[in-house]
Amino acid sequence: MDLELTAADEEFRREARDWLAAHVPAEPLPSLETAEGFAAHRAWERELHGGRWSAVTWPEEYGGRGASVLQWLLFEEEYHAARAPGRVSQNGVSLLAPTLFEHGTDEQVARVLPPMARGETVWAQAWSEPGAGSDLAALRSAAVRADGGWLLRGHKTWSSRAAFADRAFGLFRSHPGGDRPHHGLTYLMFDLAAPGVTVRPIGRLDGKPAFAELFLEDVFVPDADVIGEPGQGWRVAMSTAGNERGLTLRSPGRFTAAADRLAALWRAGADPADTALRDRVADALIGARAYQLSAYAGVARLTEGGTPGAAASLTKIFWSELDIALHETALDLLGPHGELADAAPEAPDHGGWADGWIFALAGPVYAGTNEIQRDIIAERLLGLPKGRR
């Protein structure tokens, strides 16, 4: 792995840093888990698109810059160091878009990606169902053949962004009676404002609707919104899951920036005699740096033709556990004030540490629970026998 950046990469980083310095709002935007905050973050996506920073690795014809994966890492480091707003389009840009590039038609790519890049269409992820979360293959929501398309029926839950998003993507059982549960599934995109769709927000620990339930009653979806072949949705979904567990959803820049802020907190007011807390700060810094170097090594493998594969499960466990440890250390440093929400004037960092901690708690659960990831590592990477399910 070569850690020396080319002149072009250095110029890319400088351009990103300069643009962010000139455009990142001076005050944090309202939480994107509120209607007001969602609208503000959608406007920020338009601002990013204006500078061609909303999807840097996409081809220019779809609103990107055609940047390399390494340059995306550099952009992410600058983005988080600049304290830029959270990305309301992340489900679309980081999960659906790579899936469309790999499995979608030319028409789908040309139709779906440009409004996604402009922040005009924000996407929700509609995978989990009651009784089918970690065991995704147990899903029961159905896609029934209709003239010119499919009718969706069922119930999705814990759908990220769905409370305020425009469209969603998910898996549906289209060919019942298959010999294995992950056979006979179809991957579809659908409109959250379509007739037959009911969106019921789910309050998070702080009451904000970060998720939603979706009730689907004969929701028509045209054939043009099927991704991949009908009945072959599992293969398409594994492409999405690989991106979700791997690099694109949780870039190392997010953790290195947070670890740097944690170290600043320590220097600003921690008790030097509390060596236990000091060691936790050091562990967070080391963990963030290790994840960063691991990501650079992963990019080197991808550049040489490799794929994330089952190793993405290692990454997912690492960043999700690091995220919790890092934020818990910050809250212990801040004391009782650290628990204040963003609406409280006295909340340190505008409540960012408390908000980040609440979000981090979900890390070991979404994108496939860490227990599932450990099973994958045991079976596919270590060659151990399957355990009892």
Active site residues: 244
Enter the tokens of residue 362.
């979900």
Task: Please report which helix (H) or strand (E) contains residue 167, including its range.
Answer: strand 167-173
Contact (Cβ atoms closer than 8 angstroms) between residue 164 and residue 122 = yes
Rounded distance between C-alpha atoms, residue 109 and residue 369, angstroms: 30
Helical axes 69-81 vs 252-269, angle rounded to 10°: 30
User: Judging by DSSP bridges, how do beta strands 123-125 and 167-173 pair with one another?
Assistant: parallel
Beta pairing partners, 124? 168
* 339, 341, 342, 345 alpha-carbon torsion, rounded to 10°: -80
Other CB atoms within a 10 A radius of the CB of residue 15 amount to: 15
Structure tokens at 338: 């650290």
- The phi, psi pair for 371, rounded to 5°, reads -65, -45
Cβ-contact 354, 341 below 8 angstroms: yes
Q: Rounded to an integer, what distance in angstroms lies between the CA atom of residue 88 and that of residue 93?
A: 10
Tokens of 233: 């949705």
Q: What are phi and psi of 85, to 5 degrees?
A: -65, 155
